[in-house]
Structures are given as structure tokens and as C-alpha cells.
Amino acid sequence: MDDRTYTADAEPGQTVTVAGWVHEIRDLGGIAFLILRDTTGKIQVKFEKDEMDDDLVETGLGVHRESVVAVTGDVEEEPRAPTGVEITPDSLDVVAEADPELPLDPSGKVDADLSTRLDNRTLDLRKDETKAIFEIRAEVLRSVREAFRDLDATEINTPKIVATGTEGGTELFPITYFGQEAFMNQSPQLFKQLMVGSGLERVFEIGPIFRAEEHNTPRHLNEATSIDFESAFYDHTEAMDACETIVKAAYEGVAENCQDQLEALDLQDEFEVPEGDFPRLTYEEAIERINATGELDEQLVWGDDLPTEGEHALGQDVGEHYFITDWPSEIKPFYIKDHDDDEQLSTGFDMMHPTMELVSGGQREHRYDELVEGFEQQGLDPKQFDYYTKMFKYGMPPHAGWGLGGERLVMTMLGLGNIREAVLFPRDRQRLSP
Ligand code: ATP
Ligand code: AMO
């Protein structure tokens, strides 16, 4: 069916059929132009009223904006045309007429609020700048996959319907599974760990995570895309190295393959691939630096989680991506290993963009007895996790890994003000459709 020529490929001297959306009609009197848009760009179609068939002129100029049309005609050079070429039509078919009233204006002349845009993503993604976000997101995922491959990691897919949660009991979405209580998975955590003891050893997954976050913020979603990594025989420092490699690869891919998209977002001059090693601050240094900024009303003490304002103050101070390491064990999950020489100190780390957390990870507890004890300390019943813990009795190597929020990566990379901009159809407290 798709035997049309893309507008970007239409060369002077050719007779082509282009098909796409009516971006704009400009009627100057004796001459009029229809600007046709497809995924590759736009092309001008010229109507010289006195010299052309009346029906053709009437159809071409009477069609509503955003209708789908197919135009056949000769391509000619025309320096005054926006792309330097134009088509003189021999025929024009209206393939799908659009209503004259549109819920949002894809030409971008009239601004729409985010909620209207999210309700009408089809029209919203006709705009170059919105389309660019999703082309960049696709490039981020492509380059991340390639970089994981270079690290010899195997892509896996783990279940999203599960019997138990891992990241704390309150944020689970319960569902009914053939009369039995079940949950939407919050993280592939336990499954990816099970794979490091398998013949695969090093794995990654890019998939949805579900969190029943009650709060409504510009950086939380109820369904997010998690980029997860886990490797046998890695400690937390090697996991951090891998994390840095993957995040840089995403930026490099975008710099290399998305210049047009960056231009559509007006980021061509600002966009920078992070250079050098990401600084690694201990938690202790982090709270000291936050306290020294004077931005918080109350000074942070050992054991406090970092409040959002604290993250912002530190991010401004550091000014680039950075890690926070050596967290107090008590505020990191039970599956993270403590330092051998200090059990108050965990091997858990976070990787931060100056504006927010992007990654959590750490070395895992791979010793059976200590793992079971961790479940108990967390108030979880180890029996419920028997499918997981028992594999630790059959040869589970030391291992480490992390989870990176895909939307947060895209959001921070492009400086988007709201994480919903980086998801086609976001799920939040108010939004269950589309
Ligand atoms: P009218 O006499 O009703 O204005 P016309 O047929 O004489 O119509 P022109 O005077 O040739 O039209 O052009 C009108 C405007 O359109 C001018 O500003 C001209 O620069 C512009 N124009 C003409 N042809 C093209 C073209 N192929 N691409 C872009 N702009 C064009
Ligand atoms: P954590 O819960 O910190 O760690 O999640 C990892 C990263 O996922 C992203 N993220 C979210 N993004 C948008 N909306 C949300 N509601 C949301 N929740 C999380 C963040 C966050 O840094 N199992 C561990 C990872 C590991 O140790 O391997 C985990 O899930 O960018």
C-alpha cells in the first residue's frame, strides 16, 4: 500500500505521489499553497488557479487542515518554497477528511496544556518537538541495548504479575489472579537476581514497573519503564562503572543520531554528553555538603533519607551526574549487602542527575542465612519468598546491579519539566486513559 514518495525524497524532475497531512493552506489570491506534512518533513503543493482544473483547485484548497491527502504531480525546484522544491499537482485525493474543529493545533501556533496534549497524543505527536522526544526516547533505548550487548549482558523479560512485592509493601497495586491475590510488579529485582546464578550470569531488562505512589509529582509515574542490570561476580563499584557506561552511551547515541530532533527541541547548542568520571560521594559527605549549603531548615543527621530539597541543593553544588555511596544499612533494602567490615554501612548506591535520582543499586546479599535474616528484619515472611531464597542454596555467586528510571533519564537529558512528557500515555492518579 505504501508506494508513496516521502516528502524528503522528492527530487526536482520526478513525478511523485506524496501522502500525508494538510499542515497549512495559504491562499494568496491567484496562487495558493497547500503544505503537506509526512514523517520526513513538509512539501509545498502549488495551485495556480487560472491554469489548473477547477475541481482540483477546489478540492485541494477546500480540504480541512490535518486531513490526509495524496498528491501526484511533478516536482520542481522553487527557491521560494520552504524546502526549495514544490509539487504542481495533477491529482489530489482526500484520503481521510479531518473535522474542522481540532482539540489541539498541530502546527503549534496555538499552545495546548499538557492535559489536552495527553488526551490527544495522536495530534500532539504531529508536532515536531513532541515527536522528537519520542524519537530520542527510542534512540536512548536502542543505544542502551547496544551498550548492554557490548557488556555481554543478555536481555531478559520477567513477569509483571507477581505473588509478592519487594520494594516495600505500601506501593503495590493489588489485582485478582483467578481468585487469588496478586500484584503488579514493582521491580524485576528478585527475578534478575535469580538469573545471575543461572547460566546467563549477566542480564538486563527494559520493562514496565508499577508503583501505587499516592503523591502527584512531576517526576513520579504509576507505570514507569525500568532499565535493570544485574551481573554475577560484580561488586558495587563495578556495577557503578556499568551504570556510568550505560548512561553515557544513551547521551552519545542521541548526540550522534538525533541532531534534527535536538534542533526541533532547540537543544542543539545546550546538549552535552557527560564527560569524565561521575564523582562518587559517600552518604556522609553528601549530608555534610547539603548541610553546608544552608538550604535546609533542619540539618541532616546520619540515618536521614535525603529530602527532595536536599537533593536539589547537592545537585546544584555538584553540577553534574554523581553517585552517592555507602548509605546507612537501615535505609537501604534488605537485599543489599552491607560492607564486610562495617554492618552499619551498606554497599547500596544512588546515581543522581543534578535535579533528581536516576538510579538505585548495590551489591546483593548472596549468603543464604544472611539473606533470610534480612527478610525477617524487614518484616517480610521469608517463606513467601521461598522461590527466591532457595536458589541461594544451590550456588549463588556474589553479584551486583541497579535499576535506572527510563523516563527520568529522558526527562533529565532533555530538561523536560514533567516526566509525563516522556511517556506516550502516562499513568498517574488522575489518568487511566488513554
Ligand atoms: P495574485 O496576483 O493574486 O497575488 P499571483 O499568481 O500573481 O497572485 P505571485 O504574485 O506570483 O502570485 O505571488 C504571490 C506571493 O506568493 C508572492 O509573495 C510570491 O513571492 C509568493 N510566491 C509565488 N510563487 C511562489 C512559490 N512557488 N513558492 C513560494 N512563494 C511563492
Ligand atoms: P528504585 O525503587 O530506587 O530501585 O527504582 C529505581 C529507579 O527507577 C525510577 N523510578 C521511577 N520513575 C518514575 N516513577 C516512579 N514511580 C519510579 N519509581 C522508581 C527512578 C529510580 O531511581 N530494585 C531497585 C533497583 C536495584 O537495586 O537494582 C529499585 O527498584 O529513576
Q: Whose CA is nearest to atom 13 of ligand 2?
A: 220
Q: Whose CA is nearest to atom 12 of ligand 1?
A: 31
Parts of the chain with a pLDDT under 50:
none
Q: Pocket around ligand 1: residues whose beta carbon is below 6 Å from it?
A: 28-31, 46, 78, 80-81, 86
How far, in Å, CA of 202 to CA of 195, rounded?
Answer: 8
> Can you tell me whether residue 402 is helix, strand or coil?
strand
Q: Whose CA is nearest to atom 31 of ligand 2?
A: 405
pLDDT the model gives residue 380: 84
Rounded to two decimals, the pTM is: 0.94
Taking only the tens place, the pLDDT of each residue in 175-204 is 999 999 999 999 999 999 999 999 999 999
Which of the 8 DSSP states describes residue 255?
H
Q: Which residues contact 297 (CB under 8 A, 6 or more apart)?
A: none
Instruction: Report how many helices (DSSP H) and strands (DSSP E) the chain contains, helices first.
Output: 12, 18
Grid cell of 77 as nine digits: 525546484
Cβ of 314 below 6 Å from ligand 2: no
pLDDT the model gives residue 168: 61
Distance between Cα 290 and ligand 2 center (Å): 23
- State the ipTM, two decimals: 0.87
pLDDT the model gives residue 214: 85
From the CA of 352, the nearest ligand is 2
Cβ of 223 below 6 Å from ligand 2: no
Out of 185, 205, 240, 408, mutate this one to test ligand 2's pocket (max ligand atoms within 8 Å of CB): namely 408
Q: Which residues contact 122 (CB under 8 A, 6 or more apart)?
A: none
From the CA of 45, the nearest ligand is 1
pLDDT the model gives residue 50: 96
Q: Which residues contact 421 (CB under 8 A, 6 or more apart)?
A: 114, 133, 411
How far, in Å, CA of 376 to CA of 370, rounded?
Answer: 10
Residue given cell 515472611 in the structure block: 381
pLDDT the model gives residue 162: 94
pLDDT the model gives residue 120: 98
The one-letter code for the residue type at 182 is A
Q: What is the CA radius of gyration of the chain?
A: 27
The one-letter code for the residue type at 27 is D
Give the containing element (helix H, strand E) for 175: strand 173-177
pLDDT the model gives residue 359: 98
pLDDT the model gives residue 419: 98
Answer yes or no: are the C-beta atoms of 323 and 350 closer than 8 Å.
yes
The dihedral region occupied by 231, where left means phi > 0, alpha psi between -120 and 50, and beta the remainder, is beta
pLDDT the model gives residue 164: 82
